[in-house]
């Protein structure tokens, strides 16, 4: 059974509560209001409602904690040491296309350190949780990153900046990295949810995952899942600034090999 700290319990309950109407929305996509934040960057009434429910539930249980959420930004609380980082739907494009691969992602930071994380796919009812020092779990199952040590046996996930996301030079660099990785491994997957990509690394399904240009809400919970499953998470310089948005998650054996491959490809 996973260890659920009181705060993690609150986060799990909030994700379940917000997940129920989200499933109803997913089954009636034609009723949603959809607007654009930028080219090919969509937000729907489901993203907004999910975020509202999550913030209400979390702040009701932990009044004063600060919140940083994708659709409404920073909400400063009186407690400066704790902050929830929320992505109400990670994988909005999948969601809006009826692809059942998206999730709710909630992380809790204490004094700038990730201490609790939840990634919840309401379609599959997969609840990934992690508490710093207490491991990562998928429902009742303890998670461990894959043990594969060789690139040719490895399945690697990534994300490629879509239209409107960053300059063309970044897209070109990502495509060069994809070419380098796909020609040395068992293959690449681009599933469209950074939080679930991290969760799949934690679960040993993917051997590694890298992406550039993410936001803290995309990956905060996922980073803790991977670390607590025994994996290594760094930025793409090999440093620890992972919430800035350039990320590589994998096991210790593959990390130096993948980092070199990705960095050399982008030069
Ligand atoms: C997106 C997903 C996607 C990643 C994008 C993110 P959203 O988040 O995580 O996999 O490639 O960069 O923006 O917008 O669906 O929450
Ligand atoms: Ca996201
Ligand atoms: Ca989102
Ligand atoms: Ca978004």
CB proximity list for 256: less than 8 A, separation 6 or greater:
none
DSSP-derived 3-state class of residue 110: strand
Looking from the CA of residue 47, the nearest atom of ligand 1 is 16
Query: Does residue 239 form part of some domain?
Result: yes
Q: For residue 47, give the ligand nearest its CA.
A: 3
Residues 22 and 129 in one domain: yes
Q: Which domain holds residue 202?
A: 151-266
Taking the alpha carbons at both ends of the chain, their separation in whole angstroms is 45
> Environment class of residue 138 by beta-carbon count within 10 Å: exposed (0-12), middle (13-18) or buried (19+)?
buried
Task: Compute the distance between CA of residue 147 and CA of residue 97 in angstroms, rounded to an integer.
Answer: 34
Q: For residue 102, give the ligand nearest its CA.
A: 1
Residues 156 and 204 in one domain: yes
Could you tell me if the CB of 218 is within 6 A of ligand 1? yes
Torsions phi, psi for 247 (to 5 deg): -140, 145
Residues 122 and 181 in one domain: no
Task: Compute the distance between CA of residue 126 and CA of residue 110 in angstroms, rounded to an integer.
Answer: 25
Query: Does residue 1 form part of some domain?
Result: no
Residues 208 and 85 in one domain: no
Tokens standing for residue 179? 């070419």
Residues 81 and 59 in one domain: yes
Could you tell me if the CB of 91 is within 6 A of ligand 1? yes
Q: For residue 91, give the ligand nearest its CA.
A: 1
- Do strands 113-121 and 103-110 pair parallel, antiparallel, or not at all (unpaired)? antiparallel
Residues 15 and 100 in one domain: yes
Q: What is the CATH number of the domain that holds 251?
A: 3.40.190.80
- Boundary of a domain, candidates 100, 124, 142: 142
> Environment class of residue 266 by beta-carbon count within 10 Å: exposed (0-12), middle (13-18) or buried (19+)?
middle
CB proximity list for 83: less than 8 A, separation 6 or greater:
65, 66, 67, 68, 77, 108, 109
**Which segment of 34-38, 61-65, 198-202 scores lowest on mean pLDDT?**
34-38
Ligand 1: which of 159, 198, 212, 249 to mutate, judged by most atoms within 8 Å of the beta carbon?
Answer: 159
Task: Compute the distance between CA of residue 236 and CA of residue 261 in angstroms, rounded to an integer.
Answer: 11
Ligand 1: which of 90, 94, 103, 158 to mutate, judged by most atoms within 8 Å of the beta carbon?
Answer: 90
CB proximity list for 246: less than 8 A, separation 6 or greater:
211, 212, 213, 214, 235, 236, 237
Task: Compute the distance between CA of residue 120 and CA of residue 139 in angstroms, rounded to an integer.
Answer: 10
Could you tell me if the CB of 194 is within 6 A of ligand 1? yes
Residues 161 and 89 in one domain: no
CA of 89 to the centre of ligand 2 (A): 7
Does residue 87 have a known ligand-binding role? yes
- Do strands 41-44 and 34-38 pair parallel, antiparallel, or not at all (unpaired)? antiparallel
Tens digit of each residue's pLDDT (9 = 90 or more) over 151-197: 999 999 999 988 878 888 889 999 999 999 999 999 999 999 999 99
Which residues are registered as beta bridge partners of 103?
A: 90
Could you tell me if the CB of 25 is within 6 A of ligand 1? no
Portion of the chain with pLDDT greater than 90, in percent: 92
Task: Compute the distance between CA of residue 141 and CA of residue 57 in angstroms, rounded to an integer.
Answer: 26
Does residue 197 have a known ligand-binding role? no
pTM of the model: 0.98
Could you tell me if the CB of 92 is within 6 A of ligand 1? yes
Looking from the CA of residue 214, the nearest atom of ligand 1 is 12
Task: Compute the distance between CA of residue 3 and CA of residue 89 in angstroms, rounded to an integer.
Answer: 25
Average pLDDT, the chain: 96
Residues 163 and 209 in one domain: yes
Tens digit of each residue's pLDDT (9 = 90 or more) over 124-159: 999 999 999 999 999 999 999 999 999 999 999 999
Instruction: Collect residues with CB below 5 Å from ion ligand 4.
Output: 92
Residues 122 and 30 in one domain: yes
Q: What is the CATH number of the domain that holds 58?
A: 3.30.540.10
pLDDT of 165: 81
Does residue 94 register a pLDDT over 80? yes
**Residue having the nearest C-alpha atom to atom 15 of ligand 1:** 91
Residues 60 and 16 in one domain: yes
Tens digit of each residue's pLDDT (9 = 90 or more) over 60-70: 999 999 999 99
Per the listing, tokens 């959420």 go with: 69
Residues 14 and 31 in one domain: yes
Query: Does residue 99 form part of some domain?
Result: yes
Q: Which of 18, 138, 185, 10 lies closest to 88 in space, CA to CA?
A: 18
Q: Which of 218, 216, 207, 214 lies closest to 250 in space, CA to CA?
A: 207
Task: Compute the distance between CA of residue 245 and CA of residue 258 in angstroms, rounded to an integer.
Answer: 17
């Amino acid at each position: 059974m996973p260890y659920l700290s009181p705060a993690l319990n609150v986060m799990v309950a909030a994700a379940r509560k917000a997940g129920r109407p989200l499933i109803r929305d997913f089954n009636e996509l034609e009723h949603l209001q959809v607007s654009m934040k930028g080219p090919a960057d969509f937000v729907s009434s489901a993203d907004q409602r999910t975020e509202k429910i999550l913030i209400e539930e979390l702040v009701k249980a932990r009044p004063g904690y600060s919140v940083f959420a994708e659709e409404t930004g920073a909400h400063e609380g009186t407690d400066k040491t704790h902050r929830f980082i929320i992505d109400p739907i990670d994988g909005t494009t999948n969601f809006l296309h009826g692809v059942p691969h998206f999730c709710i992602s909630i992380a809790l930071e204490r004094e700038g350190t990730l201490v609790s994380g939840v990634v919840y796919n309401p379609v599959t009812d997969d609840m990934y949780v992690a508490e710093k020092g207490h491991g990562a779990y998928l429902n009742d199952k303890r998670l461990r990153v894959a043990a594969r040590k060789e690139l040719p046996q490895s399945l690697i996930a990534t994300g490629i900046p879509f239209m409107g996301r960053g300059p063309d030079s970044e897209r070109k660099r990502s495509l060069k990295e994809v070419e380098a990785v796909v020609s040395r491994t068992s293959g690449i997957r681009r599933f469209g949810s950074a939080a679930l990509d991290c969760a799949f690394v934690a679960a040993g399904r993917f051997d590694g995952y890298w992406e550039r240009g993410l936001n803290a809400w995309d990956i905060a919970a996922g980073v803790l899942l991977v670390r607590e499953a025994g994996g290594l998470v760094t930025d793409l310089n090999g440093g620890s600034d992972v919430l800035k948005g350039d990320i590589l998650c994998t096991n210790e054996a593959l990390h130096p090999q993948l980092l070199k491959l990705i960095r050399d490809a982008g030069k």
